[in-house]
Amino acid sequence: MQLDLKTLCENLLEELNGIRLENLPILEQSYRSIELSRNLLSVFKREILVNDFESVDKEIIFFKKIKQIPLVKLIYFSEIHSFEIQFPKADSAAQLKFVKKKINKLNRFFLYNIDFGQYVKSGATHFDKAYYTRSHLDIYHITTSKFYFQDPDFCTPRDMLLGKFKAYISLINYMDQKKHSIKNKLNGNSVNIKPTEKIPWPFTNTDWVELLYALSASGIAKQKGLSIIRLSKILQEVFDFTPKEIYKTFQDIKNRKNSRTLFLDQLTASLLSEMDKSEE
């Protein structure tokens, strides 16, 4: 492999998070996310056709892990896009019925593929060669699908099924949130919800990123399994600020020649000064 596939995946996730932070209508968000995910899969496919894998182990890693990143996103956002287009525009009862129908369909998928699901959840690897290499396509047939890649040169017997399994878990969460939102409207709960007044952020974008990574490094993110982007989103619910280029800004901070914690140093100095004043 000549391309750095892992870096391409990281770039995709960063771009998708950027789209999410724009708070676009769900149809626009899903469409743009589909486009990015599909484009990366096309890049992967061209690379595979030109530069094949050096070993079976690397082929398994690609189809089981690396390809899954754009594939799961493609499936997830494609399903959401299709769902939202068909979603009833009025009548909460009809909307709730539509969501429940989709959840039932997803549950049938998990029930039908219960053995494969147990294999994935257990972390087992004894069938990986059969499931995630192209040499076993004559034994295990590719799972049929409506709109995903089905090229035998770019698919294995179960990589598509794995992608669906992971995407559908996220989709169940999406449907649960949708159902909860509809029920709140039926019960009139949404009428009493008032937006929280946010605190203005008087500092710079770089200061935000420095504080963000400091909080993450302290262990807050690990306790809740939060990504940097998710942690930033939570802070944005408190502060009236929209950060830009978080990952790039952090790299700039790391490359500082003098103190790499300028903002934290300023906070410390301000706190110490306040403590000294209170003791006078």
Provide the residue-wise pLDDT of the chain in tens; the chain has 280 residues.
567 898 999 899 989 988 888 888 999 999 999 999 999 999 999 999 898 899 999 999 999 999 999 999 999 999 999 999 999 988 889 999 999 999 999 999 999 999 999 999 899 999 999 999 988 666 655 454 444 446 778 889 999 999 999 999 999 999 999 998 888 876 554 334 344 578 889 999 999 999 999 999 988 877 767 788 888 888 888 888 899 999 999 999 999 988 999 999 999 999 998 898 877 6
- For residue 222, the model assigns a pLDDT of 75
In terms of phi and psi (left: phi > 0; alpha: psi -120 to 50; beta: otherwise), the region of 219 is left
Token pair of 112, please? 């039908």
- For residue 23, the model assigns a pLDDT of 81
CA end-to-end distance (rounded Å), the chain: 66
Those residues whose C-beta lies under 8 Å from the C-beta of residue 168, and which sit 6 or more positions away, are 75, 79, 106, 109, 110
User: Which residue type occupies 261?
Assistant: T
Q: If DSSP codes are grouped into helix, strand and coil, which group holds residue 171? A: helix
Place of tokens 């698919």: 155
The pTM is what? 0.65
Enclosing H/E stretch for 235: helix 228-236
Per-residue b/e over 242-273, b at no fewer than 16 CB within 10 Å? ebeebeebbeebeeeeeeeeebeeebeeeeee
